[in-house]
Amino acid sequence: MDETAANSAPSQAAPPRRASRLAVAAFVAFLAVLSVAGYKTWRDLVTVEARADELRAEIARSEQEIRHLEEQAARLREDPVTLERVARRELNMVHPDDVVVMLPPEDEVRPDEPRR
């Protein structure tokens, strides 16, 4: 009986080792999957933070442009000289007493043509 007991002891010890190795392998695989998912999440977080920074900068530029336009609108409401200057420059308006001389566009004028 001693031989049977000696032979059966290693075979009973082998399954716990195999089970512990399987548990360790499963745990390592779980950690690998977890680290891959964690890296993807971290990368996504970095991307979202970079986009948020871009949007904050765009908001700051827009707010600055709004302030500039509000100041320009206030000047146009309060200063008739500024209003007239903008109307002449951007809308090609003239004062009723102005003399308007129409010139041909520069691309139509050729220096080699004789003048009439």
- Tell me the pLDDT tens digit for each residue of 49-82: 999 999 999 999 999 999 999 998 998 899 988 8
| The pLDDT value given to residue 78 | 92
Domain count, the chain: 1
The answer to whether position 13 is within a domain reads no
Q: Which CA distances in Å does 48 have to 38, 42, 45, 51, 52?
A: 15, 10, 5, 5, 6
Owning domain of residue 41: 19-95
**Is 104 among the domain residues?**
no
Entry pTM:
0.47
Cα–Cα separations (whole angstroms), residue 54 to 45, 51, 60, 115: 14, 5, 10, 58
Q: Output 27 or 112, whichever has higher pLDDT.
A: 27
pLDDT in tens, 78-110: 998 888 888 889 998 888 888 888 888 877 666
